[in-house]
Amino acid sequence: MVSRPRWQWLVFGALSMIVVWLPLAYAAAAFVEHLRAGLPERLSALPDAKVDEIALAVFVAPPLSLVVAGVASGYLLGRWGLPTGRIDAALAATVVVLVGVALTWARSSVMWSAVVSLLLAVPASLLGASLGRRRRGL
C-alpha cells in the first residue's frame, strides 16, 4: 500500500469537513428559521421558559453543525490517515474555518466573532482524530 503525501490528507480532511458541514449547517439554519416563523411579533407574549428554549436552539444548532463536521473529519483522518492524523485534522479544520471566515468577510463586514469558530472546530477535529486513532489501534 502506497502512503499518500501529507498535503493530500489535509485536502481530504478539509473537503470531508465541508461535505459534512454544509448540509448540517443548512439543516440548522432551516431549524432556526422554522422556530422564528412560529414566534409572535413580541416575545414578551411568550412564557420565559419558551423564550429560553428558543434562544438555546438558535445559539446551539449552528455551532453544533460545525462541531459534528469537525469530529467526523477528524475521525476520517485519525482512522485512515497518516500517523500524524491528529495534527492533520487540526490543520484541516483550521483551513476550513479560515476559508469560511474569509468568505464571510468578503461578503459582509469584518466580524471577529467568526474567528471564534476555531475554538469549536479544532478541538472537535482533534477529538474525532483521537477516536479514529483509537479505533485504528494506534
Q: Does residue 1 lie within any of the structural domains?
A: no
What integer best gives the mean pLDDT of the chain? 85
The distance of Cα 14 from the centroid of its chain, to the nearest Å, equals 11
Q: Does residue 40 lie within any of the structural domains?
A: yes
Please give the average per-residue pLDDT across 82-93, as a whole number.
Answer: 90
The domain tally of the chain equals 1
Look at 17-21, 57-61, 111-115 and tell me which has the smallest mean pLDDT. Answer: 111-115
Q: Does residue 64 lie within any of the structural domains?
A: yes
CB 79 within 8 A of CB 12: no
Look at 30-39, 48-57, 77-86, 118-127 and tell me which has the smallest mean pLDDT. Answer: 48-57
Amino acid at 25: A
The reported pLDDT for the residue numbered 11 is 94
The reported pLDDT for the residue numbered 91 is 95
What tens digit of pLDDT does each residue of 28-48 get? 989 888 877 766 665 556 666
Confidence at 50, pLDDT banded by 50, 70, 90: low
Q: Give dist(CA 12, CA 45) in Å, integer.
A: 49
Percent of the chain predicted with pLDDT > 70: 86
Residue 61 corresponds to which cell in the numbers above?
Answer: 444548532
Q: Does residue 97 lie within any of the structural domains?
A: yes
pLDDT(110) > 90 = no
pLDDT(114) > 90 = no
Q: Does residue 72 lie within any of the structural domains?
A: yes
**CB within 8 Å of 138: residues ≥ 6 apart:** 83
- DSSP labels for 59-75? HHHHHHHHHHHHHHHHH
Range of the domain at 44: 6-136
pLDDT(122) > 70 = yes
CB 94 within 8 A of CB 123: no
Q: Give dist(CA 93, CA 107) in Å, integer.
A: 21
Q: Does residue 126 lie within any of the structural domains?
A: yes
